[in-house]
């Protein structure tokens, strides 16, 4: 798909170190870009979001949980929680992630407050480079400022307004120091009608005139009542409105009420629950799927109707195409980021699992919950709009203007504007980089990486701190060691002088693509040269042994010695890698090698290198536990009883292994049930639902078995009305 804005965003993130704000109207592909970035980027990245639901949708974690931040406002320059340090006591895994991170992604940035972004900056500086905004890590901020705004209480703003001009992320003090570029996605994929897109743009940009309002208000139909078989959903501004509609409609149904309780395993905060803990349904209830189906039978946001249900299964018919699905409980994972012990890559580790049917009552939902969804038909009430962007979000959920019904005429007052946001958005194009700018950024990035590789000033500073400790406290006890340190320390002048001269060369070569081969050769030779020069420091560290009864002094020495050794080992390891003739120089390769060295892989073999600890075995995924028990000879019922889970949940675990070919599908259907189903369909029956099949049989069997049997034999439901 040819999309110059998406290509530009990819180039900036993948080939430069520049910070990027990726924005665009609803339906322009921001989420798709993030998904593709996950799959194909060469950089070590972490994805964060401001809320639990947003984090799950982005397949990341919340900003607060990742950085262990308190929920209170943050004032730049202050400590967290009134001086307590509990919020910054990260374990080794978290510290390693922060030290080796290349790219920090924050989704739904429009909802992130300025003070929260500054809190992130404070933590990143503590574990990275204190002199650089966000510790020198590249930022990718994704979101649309014309949609959801940050939540801030009056008392919080009273505290923050003396520091910040606005609560929005772009007022962050750290971001003001970190130059960033902007790419606005232009192509709308959700809507195809040019005139409808034009109307939405006018609402978004607060340019709706009388003609615009009149055109939209043609969709106001007083007393409109959708037919039972239609897929209309009502969008409301407040939670209580949606709840009231859903409770009322559910009460009108005469069928039996069923309650489904979610299963929560491990750590999963209640505030991040992706579905109702107690899901109450009746036959005939209108529901919305809240998760994409792996088999692509349904998708997040699709409207359906419950056609039958029991304690183990729910059958829902799509209001889009009439197809019926037998559902099992779906799984959502609460993840945290860890380091893979083998590959040393950043990976997501499951801390907890939430299992529930992927449904929510959906005669009505709030505009807030509709964020990111797409509907064919919606009844929209924005007469009580109270926040910037609400009207635009609600109207832009629909694919077509014809799919919208307004429950009240749209008034200009409902289109709430924020002049601060409008001004910022109006200047976005000024920050979009040109082709020449991108080329400059690529060159700058290459030079920046080489600067870090061939910089010895920081290493000298660490050495001098160690030398000072020996000179002040151990001169009388280890005079020969002190003399050796002073002698070797004089070598830094030569190292720094040569590196400065080499900088002139690689800076020139980095800007000339034709001479990349020359640059590669120069880097290889420089790495070999500096490796020899650093070997003397390495030997000195290897024979450095001091003792003292002073605990404070011992700690000071060990801290400074370890700091220098770690930095020296990194330099030696990188030079060893780059001087190899088998290595083609690239920024991506250098970053990957740096991360592996920092994490203990490919560490140079020196006497002072610490032995790595034996990693703990990884936690076995829940579906793999069920699979192992099944192939060990246990039945589905036995596994369910043993694990205290439902039959349907275990069945869904095993279905994944059917798809991969590790379990024969027929093994999951008891022979008696298979024979009954075979007889039923041979008789020429054309059922409209799974419930109809069950009612026709003289035995009751789980809908999941019936559904699997039909899939194996490619049997379809009747669509006759």
CA distance 500 to 465: 23
CA distance 300 to 256: 26
Tokens of 9: 């965003």
Cα–Cα distances (Å) from 483 to 84, 475, 479, 495, 577, in that order, read 43, 9, 6, 20, 32
The beta strand positions in 92-237, using DSSP E, are 103-106, 138-142, 180-185, 233-236
CA distance 4 to 253: 51
Percent of the chain with pLDDT over 70: 90
Among 670, 639, 671, 633, residue whose Cα is nearest residue 652 = 639
CA distance 288 to 43: 36
**What is the distance of C-alpha 721 from the center of its chain?**
44
Interacting residues of 317 by C-beta distance below 8 A, sequence separation 6+: 304, 305, 307, 323, 324, 325, 689
Among 537, 370, 556, residue whose Cα is nearest residue 459 = 537
Q: What is the pTM of this model?
A: 0.64
φ and ψ at 123, to 5 degrees?
A: -70, -45
Please check the confidence at residue 23 and state whether its pLDDT lies above 90.
yes
Average pLDDT estimate for 120-138 = 90
DSSP state of 362: -
Q: Average pLDDT over the chain, rounded to whole?
A: 83
Average pLDDT estimate for 218-223 = 90
Interacting residues of 149 by C-beta distance below 8 A, sequence separation 6+: 110, 111, 168, 387, 388, 389, 418, 421
CA distance 188 to 310: 42
CB atoms within 10 A of CB 492: 18
**What is the distance of C-alpha 313 from the center of its chain?**
31
Quickly state the pLDDT bin for 465 (edges 50, 70, 90): very high
φ and ψ at 378, to 5 degrees?
A: -150, 140
Which range of 44-53, 134-143, 309-318 scores highest in mean pLDDT? It is: 134-143
Tokens of 115: 């003070």
CA distance 126 to 118: 13
CA distance 343 to 416: 50
Please check the confidence at residue 574 and state whether its pLDDT lies above 80.
yes
Tokens of 548: 């003292």
Q: What is the pLDDT of residues 252-297, one digit of tens each?
A: 999 999 999 999 988 888 877 888 999 999 999 999 888 877 777 8
DSSP state of 715: -
Please check the confidence at residue 83 and state whether its pLDDT lies above 50.
no
Interacting residues of 244 by C-beta distance below 8 A, sequence separation 6+: none
DSSP state of 298: S
CA distance 702 to 312: 7
Q: What is the pLDDT of residues 365-418, one digit of tens each?
A: 888 777 767 888 999 988 777 777 788 888 988 989 999 999 888 888 888 777
What's the full length of the chain, in residues? 721
End-to-end CA distance of the chain: 40
Angle between helices 491-510 and 457-473 (to 10 degrees): 170
**Block residue for tokens 């920090």:** 104
CA distance 360 to 371: 15
Q: Is 461 exposed, middle or buried (0-12, 13-18, 19+ CB in 10 A)?
A: middle
CB atoms within 10 A of CB 505: 15
Please check the confidence at residue 68 and state whether its pLDDT lies above 80.
yes
Average pLDDT estimate for 501-525 = 82
CA distance 146 to 185: 14
CA distance 85 to 140: 28
Please check the confidence at residue 79 and state whether its pLDDT lies above 80.
no
Contact between 386 and 239 under an 8 Å Cβ cutoff? The reply is no
Quickly state the pLDDT bin for 32 (edges 50, 70, 90): confident
**Block residue for tokens 């992927």:** 358
């Amino acid at each position: 798909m040819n999309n110059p804005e998406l290509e530009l965003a990819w180039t900036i993130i993948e080939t430069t170190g520049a910070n990027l704000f990726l924005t665009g109207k609803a339906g322009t592909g921001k989420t798709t870009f993030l998904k593709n970035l996950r799959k194909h980027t060469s950089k070590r990245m972490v994805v964060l979001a401001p809320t639990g639901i947003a984090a799950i949708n982005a397949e990341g974690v919340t900003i607060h949980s990742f950085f262990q931040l308190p929920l209170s406002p943050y004032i730049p320059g202050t400590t967290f929680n009134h001086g307590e340090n509990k919020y910054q006591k990260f374990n080794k895994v978290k510290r390693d992630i922060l030290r080796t991170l290349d790219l920090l992604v924050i989704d739904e940035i429009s909802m992130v407050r300025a003070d929260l972004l500054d809190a992130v900056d404070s933590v990143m500086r503590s574990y990275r480079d204190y002199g650089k905004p966000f510790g020198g890590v590249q930022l990718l901020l994704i979101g649309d400022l014309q949609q959801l705004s940050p939540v801030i209480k009056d008392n919080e703003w009273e505290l923050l307004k003396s520091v910040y001009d606005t609560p929005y992320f772009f007022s962050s003090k750290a971001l003001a120091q970190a130059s960033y570029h902007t790419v606005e996605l232009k192509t709308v994929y959700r809507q195809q009608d040019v005139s409808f897109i034009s109307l939405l743009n006018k609402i978004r940009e607060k340019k709706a005139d009388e003609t615009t309002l009149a055109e939209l208000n043609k969709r106001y139909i007083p007393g409109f009542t959708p037919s039972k078989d239609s897929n209309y959903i009502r969008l409301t501004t407040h939670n209580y409105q949606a709840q009231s509609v859903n409770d009322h409609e559910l009460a009108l149904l005469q069928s039996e009420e069923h309650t489904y309780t979610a299963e929560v395993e491990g750590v999963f905060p209640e505030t991040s629950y992706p579905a109702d803990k107690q899901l109450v349904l009746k036959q005939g209830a209108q529901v919305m799927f809240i998760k994409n189906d792996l088999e692509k039978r349904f998708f997040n946001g699709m409207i359906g109707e419950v056609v039958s249900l029991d304690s183990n299964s729910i059958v829902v018919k799509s209001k889009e195409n009439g197809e019926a699905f037998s559902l099992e409980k779906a799984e959502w994972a609460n993840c945290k980021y860890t380091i893979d012990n083998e590959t040393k890559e950043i990976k997501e580790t499951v801390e907890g699992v939430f299992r529930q049917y992927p449904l929510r009552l959906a005669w009505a939902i709030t505009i807030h919950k509709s964020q990111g969804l797409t509907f064919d038909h919606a009844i929209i009430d924005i007469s009580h709009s109270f926040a910037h962007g609400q009207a635009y979000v609600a109207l832009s959920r629909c694919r077509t203007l014809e799919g919208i019904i307004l429950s009240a005429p749209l008034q200009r007052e409902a289109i709430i504007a924020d002049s601060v946001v409008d001004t910022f958005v109006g200047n976005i194009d000024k920050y979009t980089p040109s082709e020449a700018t991108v080329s400059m950024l690529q060159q700058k990035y290459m030079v920046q990486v080489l600067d870090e590789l061939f910089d010895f000033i920081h290493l000298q500073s660490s050495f001098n701190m160690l030398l000072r400790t020996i000179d002040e406290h151990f001169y009388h006890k280890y005079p020969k060691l002190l003399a050796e340190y002073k002698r070797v320390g004089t070598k830094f002048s030569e190292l720094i002088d040569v590196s400065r001269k080499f900088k002139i060369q690689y800076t020139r070569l980095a800007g000339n693509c034709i001479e990349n081969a020359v640059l590669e050769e120069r880097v290889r030779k420089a790495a070999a040269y500096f490796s020899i020069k650093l070997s003397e420091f390495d030997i000195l560290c290897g024979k450095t042994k001091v003792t003292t009864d002073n605990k404070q002094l011992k700690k000071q020495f060990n801290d400074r010695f370890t700091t220098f050794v770690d930095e020296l080992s990194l330099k030696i390891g990188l030079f060893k890698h780059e001087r190899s003739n088998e290595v083609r120089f690239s920024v991506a390769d250098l970053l990957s090698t740096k991360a592996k060295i920092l994490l203990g892989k490919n560490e140079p073999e020196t006497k002072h290198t610490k032995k790595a600890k034996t990693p703990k075995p990884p936690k076995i995924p829940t579906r793999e536990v069920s699979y192992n028990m099944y192939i060990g000879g246990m039945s589905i019922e036995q596994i369910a009883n043993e694990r205290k889970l439902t039959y349907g949940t275990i069945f869904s675990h095993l279905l994944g292994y059917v798809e991969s070919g590790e379990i024969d599908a027929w093994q999951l259907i008891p022979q008696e049930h298979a024979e009954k189903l075979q007889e039923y369909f041979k008789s020429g029956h054309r059922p409209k639902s799974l419930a109809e099949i069950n009612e026709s049989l003289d035995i009751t069997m789980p809908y999941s078995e019936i559904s699997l049997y039909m899939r194996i034999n490619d049997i379809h439901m009747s669509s006759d009305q």
